[in-house]
Chain A
Amino acid sequence: MDTLANVVQIGLVHYLFVGALLLVTGLLCILLKRNAIGILLGVELVLNAANINLVAFNRFNVLPAGGRLNMDGQIFALFVIVLAAAEAAVALAIFLNFYNNTSSVNVEDATRLKEEG
């Protein structure tokens, strides 16, 4: 049974499927949340989906015989994690400022730059 072997033997596609589904849930989170912090959670989910792909490609990379282990994918993922933390810090600072101005973190209240009418 080739199909059964594909289900039991975990390959690159399985991780890519998880990454794709996590990307879609993150996108839905960004689209559907009214709370700015909820949108931030969606962005973090999307970044995690990208990270799964990077690490999976790193693992299933074709290595030259006798060459050094290639860790480029994991290093990329490491930088993504650090930059995601930095992004969350800046975003939360902006949300706090927004909350101080409007007493709300609902993105529908962020209309100050909108043209009247």
Chain B
Amino acid sequence: MLETILFYLFAFITVASGVGVVMSRNIVRGCMMFLASLVGVAGLYFLLHAEFLAATQLVIYVGGTLILIIFGVMLTSRSLATHDEPHGREVGAAVLIGLVLAVSLCWAIGRRFADIRPASGTAEGYPTVVLGQALTGDFLLPFELVSVVLLVVMIGAAYLAKGRLHESQGGA
């Protein structure tokens, strides 16, 4: 029963904050709504017995990505004043697309996956231990490749963001 209540609570937080991101005119408010949505998703991970993933979601998404986005908002804050609204026709078309997609997805999900119950606990192993063993065993190559990707991204982002600044400093 508690699981049911928590599921509906986290699901409501997730989806309502997602709608809030769409509705908010102010990008900072949108970021705060996105924060609530991420926390809701982390709660859903806890309910799915993915504790390590929930912690990772909080640390990397909330502690890393969201802070990065908020820094991006602050560094481009001069354009905060310009709130150009989308045209009414575009809103109508987008909401129509969204409704059609939501209804068709929910119909397909309800048709195909309605009778699936949680896996029984016959398999052995503690989830986080199994996760760590898989990352350093079967998934060692992708794990190492991700570290290369992160290095490339770090160099590339620093180059992209700093190149122009360096130039203007040299010009001045």
A and B found bound together: yes
A82, B60: Cβ atoms closer than 8 Å? yes
Tell me which residues across on chain B come within 8 A of A56, comparing CB atoms. 48
Complex: how many Å from CA A11 to CA B135?
A: 28
Contacts of B168 in A (CB 8 A): 100
**How many inter-chain contacts with C-beta < 8 Å in the A-B complex?**
249
Q: Which residue of B lies closest to A102 (CB)?
A: B79
Which B residues are CB-close (under 8 A) to A48? 37-38, 41
**Distance between A42 CB and nearest chain B CB, rounded to angstroms:** 7
Q: A88-117 vs B: 1/0 string, CB under 8 Å?
A: 111011111101110111101000000000
Q: Given A37-B69, A59-B119, A74-B53, are A32 and B91 neighbors across the interface (CB < 8 Å)?
A: yes
In whole Å, how far is B105's beta carbon from the nearest beta carbon of chain A?
4
Chain B 1-41 interface residues, beta-carbon cutoff 8 Å to A: 1, 3-4, 7, 11, 14-15, 18-19, 21-22, 27, 30-31, 34, 37-38, 41
Determine if A45 and B37 form an interchain contact, defined as CB atoms under 8 angstroms apart: yes
Is the beta-carbon distance between A32 and B94 smaller than 8 angstroms?
yes
Q: Is the CB of A78 within 8 A of B56?
A: yes
Set of chain A residues within 8 Å of B149, measured between Cβ atoms:
83, 86
A-facing residues in B116-166 (Cβ within 8 Å): 116-120, 122-125, 127, 130-131, 134-135, 139, 142, 146, 149-150, 153-154, 156-161, 163-165
Asked if B172 is at the interface of the complex by the 8 Å CB criterion, the answer is no
Question: Closest CB-CB distance, B36 to chain A, in whole Å?
Answer: 12
Q: Contacts A28-B22, A32-B91, A97-B160 given; indicate if A37 touches B72 (C-beta within 8 A).
A: yes
Partner of B165, one of A18, A22, A94, A100: A100
Contact among B4, B41, B90, B124 with A68 in the assembled complex (CB-CB below 8 Å) = B124
Q: Within 8 Å CB of B161, what residues of A?
A: 92-93, 96-97
Contacts of B86 on A, CB cut-off 8 Å? Answer: 32-34
Contact of B79 among A14, A55, A86, A106 (CB under 8 A): A106
Instruction: Tell me whether B22 and A29 are in contact (CB under 8 A).
Output: yes
Residue in A32, A81, A97 whose beta carbon sits within 8 Å of that of B61 in the complex: A81
**Chain A residue at smallest Cβ distance from B80:** A35
Query: Which chain A residues numbered 13 to 32 have a C-beta less than 8 Å away from chain B?
Result: 13-18, 20-29, 31-32
Query: Per a CB cutoff under 8 Å, which of A18, A24, A38 touches B30?
Result: A38
- Evaluate contact between B44 and A93: CB separation under 8 angstroms: no
Q: Is the CB of B48 within 8 A of A37?
A: no
Given A51-B41, A69-B130, A95-B72, 17 more contacts at CB 8 Å? Answer: A11-B116, A11-B117, A16-B113, A20-B106, A45-B37, A63-B123, A68-B125, A81-B57, A82-B60, A82-B146, A88-B65, A88-B69, A92-B69, A93-B158, A94-B160, A96-B76, A97-B161
